[in-house]
Structure 1
Amino acid sequence: MQRGAVQQKIPCVFVTRVKDEPSSKREHQMFKVLATETLNPLALSAAIDSALATEKVDGTCCYVTTHKGLPYLWARYDRKPTKQAEKRFKKYLYTKGSSKDFFWNVDEDFKVVPDFWIPAKGVKLSNGKPYPDENGHIPGWVPVEYGNKQYCWHSCAVNYALGVAIILKPRTEDPGSLEISLVHLSDLLEQTLELIGTNINGNPYGIGNKKNPIHLLVPHGTFVIKELAALDHNSVVSWFEHCQEGKVEGIVWHCKDGSLFKLHRHHLGLHWPLNDTHLNSRPVTIKMDLCKFDYEVDSSTLLGQLSKKDTVCYDRLQDILLD
C-alpha cells in the first residue's frame, strides 16, 4: 500500500475532547486534547480497519520537491498571523468558540514569508490565495539551502552535489534491525519525511551527542507496525503500555483512499518520551560506501563521518558514536 504524504495536520483516529489542565506535550498550553472511546467517523468512512498502521516518529516534518531545477529537501514553515491579527483571532474564538466564520485578510493579517515559500498541498484557497486553517496558520514549506543557520541540522542530512539524503530505514536482509544508508533525492520526490536526531525535539531517541551530532531522515510510513491490537481504546492503551513495539510516540494509519489518521500517546494520557524506545533499541548497520561516487566528501561532515563507519554494526541506534 502506498504511504500518504503529510501535508496537512492529521486528525486523531478517535473523537477527541479538551480537558482544562496543562498539557504534558506542549509547554505553556493550558489544556489537553484527549481521545474518547469513539472512533472518528471520518476514519470509519476511510476503512480504517484495512489501513496500514505505521510508527509515528518524533521529529520535524520535511518534504522533497524540486528547487532550482533539482530535487531539494524542504523544511516545514507555517505562515502565521501578525500579533495584532492573532489577538483578534483569539478574542473571536473566546467569544464564538469556533474559527469557521472568522474573516482573515490574507494580504494584511499574515507575516511575510521567506523567499521561495510554497503552501502545503491541500491548503484551501480564497480568491486564488492560500487561506489559513482552523488554527489560523497556513501550512507551507521553504527550501533547505546551505548557509541558512536556521536549517543547519536539515542540511546535515542531505548532499546536493551528490543528490542524496541520509536515510534511516529497516534493513532489507533483516527488517527487525535498522540501516543508515543513502537514497537519491530523486527517488524521494513528493514524499514527506521526518528529521530526527541530536538537536531535534529534545532528541527523544538519544541519537549522537552535542560534540558529534547525528541527524537522519525517515520517510513517513517507513516503520510498519506488525502486532497492533484491535482498534479500540482499551486495547490500544494496553498495546502502548505492555508491548515492546508499543514503545513509540504514536501511530499513523495510511488508508487506501490516501487519508491519514494518527494517535499520540498523549491522546491517551500516556507519557512520552521514554528512556528506551522501540526505535533506539534496535540493531543498526551503517551502509555508507562512497566509492561509487566520483566526489570527495568533506570528512568533517555527517556524511563523511558516517562513511568512515561503513559496514559497522551497532547493537542499538543510540550506541552510534562518531569521531
Structure 2
Amino acid sequence: MERMCSVQQKIPCVFVTQVKDEPSSKREHQTFRVVATETLSPVALHADVHFALPTEKVDGTCCYITNHKGRPYLWARLDRKPTKQAEKRFKRHIHSKGCSKDFDWNVDEDFKAVPEFWIPAKEVRHCNGKPCPDENGHIPGWVPVENTNKQYCWHSCVVNYEAGIAVVLKPHAEEPGCLEICLEHLTDLLEQTLELIGTNINGNPYCIGTKKNPIHFLVPHGVFRVQDLQSVTYSSLVSWFSSFHGKVEGIVWHCNDGSLIKLHRHHLGLSWPLPDPNLNTKPVVVDIDLCKYKCEFASNSLLNQLSKKHTKRFERLKDITLE
C-alpha cells in the first residue's frame, strides 16, 4: 500500500463552513458549533478533491514517527498555545476585525513554554526564522514520547524502543475485510503520522479493552479506504454516512497534490460516537510474536500481553481481552 499524506497541520473541511450560535455536540462546554454548507470549499476544489483518495477518519490522538536521540521515536501532538494575556489580545483583535489576519504576534513572549525537545510541525510557516501561529493562534508541533513521562503513558505502551517496534492495527494483508494487530518496525514508519486509539483515548469510541486491562494501537493515517462513496456532494455524503460503510467518525481525502481535506459527521449534524462503528464490525487476527526479538519485554507490558493472543482470531476489536 502506498504511503499516505502525513498530518502536520489542521485539515480544512471539504465544504465551506459556518458557525452557529448553538451548543456543540462534539465538544462539551463549547457554546457554538461549526456546520457545513452545501458548497464545496475553494481549497477542496483547488486540490481536485473529486479525484482524491477517500479514507476513514479514525477517532484518536495524532502521533508522528521521526528520529530522536539517533533512532526512530514516537512523538505526541503538542500545540504551542498563547499565554492568557496574549490570547485576550488575540480575541479582541478577532472581535474587532472579524478574522485573525494581521494580528501581530511576538513568538518569544506571547507563547507558553514547551518541553526541551519540542519541534514545530513540518508545514508550519516560519517568519524571521521562527515558527508562526496558525489562524487559531496555535503553533502545531510534536514532543518525543519518553518511557518515563506519565503524561504519555498510553503512547509509550504501544512502542518498544529497544526492539524498535510498534503495535499497529491495519487491514489484514491477506484476508480482505479482516483486521490484524501486528508489529511494525519504527524504521518502516519514519516520517509517517498515525492515530493512537484505545481504552484511554477520546472516550474509547471503539470500546477497546477495559480500565483494568487497557489496550491501545497505532493506526497509520489513510490505511482504511472508504468504500461505496459515489460522489463528493452534500447529499451523497449525508446518504453515505447513513449507510453500512458510513459508520465512521469522518472522511479524510488524500489529494494528488499532497494536501488533505476532511469531513466530520458533526459537520453534517450527525452524531458520533455510534453503537457499532465500522471499525468494530470486522474480525481481527492478532499477529504478535516476540520470539524473534533479543530483548526483554516486561510481563505486564501491552506487547507481552498481546503476544499471549498470538494467532488468535476475534469477531470484533471489542472482543479482545487481556488477563
Q: What TM-score results when the alignment is normalised by the length of structure 1?
A: 0.98
Please say if 1:181 is aligned against 2:182: yes
Please say if 1:108 is aligned against 2:109: yes
Q: Which amino acid aligns with 2:110?
A: D
- In the other structure, the counterpart of 2:246 is 246
Which segment is superposed worse, 225-234 or 206-215? Answer: 225-234
Q: Any unmatched runs of 5+ in structure 2?
A: none
- In the other structure, the counterpart of 1:169 is 170
- In the other structure, the counterpart of 2:274 is 274
Please say if 1:49 is aligned against 2:50: yes
Contact 1:168 / 1:217 at 8 angstroms: preserved in 2? Answer: yes
Structure 2: distance between partners of 1:174 and 1:247? 21
Contact 2:50 / 2:231 at 8 angstroms: preserved in 1? Answer: no
**Counterparts of residues 110-125 of structure 1 (less than 5 Å):** 110-125=111-126
Contact 1:171 / 1:178 at 8 angstroms: preserved in 2? Answer: yes
Deviation at residue 55 of structure 1 after TM alignment = 0.2
After superposition, what is the alpha-carbon deviation per residue over 1:5-55, rounded to whole angstroms, capped at 9, x for unaligned? 000000001111111101111122111111111111221121111111000
Deviation at residue 311 of structure 1 after TM alignment = 0.3
Deviation at residue 281 of structure 1 after TM alignment = 2.0
Structure 1: distance between partners of 2:41 and 2:126? 26
Q: SS in structure 1 opposite 2:65?
A: strand
Which segment is superposed worse, 221-230 or 9-18? Answer: 221-230
After superposition, what is the alpha-carbon deviation per residue over 1:91-131, rounded to whole angstroms, capped at 9, x for unaligned? 11112111011111111100011010000011111111001
Which segment is superposed worse, 83-92 or 212-221? Answer: 83-92
Deviation at residue 295 of structure 1 after TM alignment = 2.1
Contact 2:63 / 2:194 at 8 angstroms: preserved in 1? Answer: yes
Q: SS in structure 2 opposite 1:134?
A: coil
Identity of aligned residues (%): 70
Q: Which amino acid aligns with 1:117?
A: W
Structure 2: distance between partners of 1:100 and 1:44? 23
- Structure 1's 2 and 187: CA in aligned 2 closer, same or farther, altered over 3 A? closer
After superposition, what is the alpha-carbon deviation per residue over 1:210-241, rounded to whole angstroms, capped at 9, x for unaligned? 00000100010010112113111011101101
- In the other structure, the counterpart of 1:96 is 97
- In the other structure, the counterpart of 2:216 is 215
Moved over 3 A (4+): none
Contact 1:284 / 1:313 at 8 angstroms: preserved in 2? Answer: yes
Structure 1: distance between partners of 2:12 and 2:70? 34
**Counterparts of residues 146-161 of structure 1 (less than 5 Å):** 146-161=147-162
**CA RMSD of superposed structures (Å):** 0.9
Deviation at residue 249 of structure 1 after TM alignment = 0.1
- In the other structure, the counterpart of 1:261 is 261
Q: Which amino acid aligns with 1:126?
A: C
**Counterparts of residues 281-320 of structure 1 (less than 5 Å):** 281-320=281-320
Structure 2: distance between partners of 1:141 and 1:45? 29
After superposition, what is the alpha-carbon deviation per residue over 1:235-289, rounded to whole angstroms, capped at 9, x for unaligned? 1101101x22100000000011101000000000000000110001211000001
Structure 2: distance between partners of 1:50 and 1:5? 18
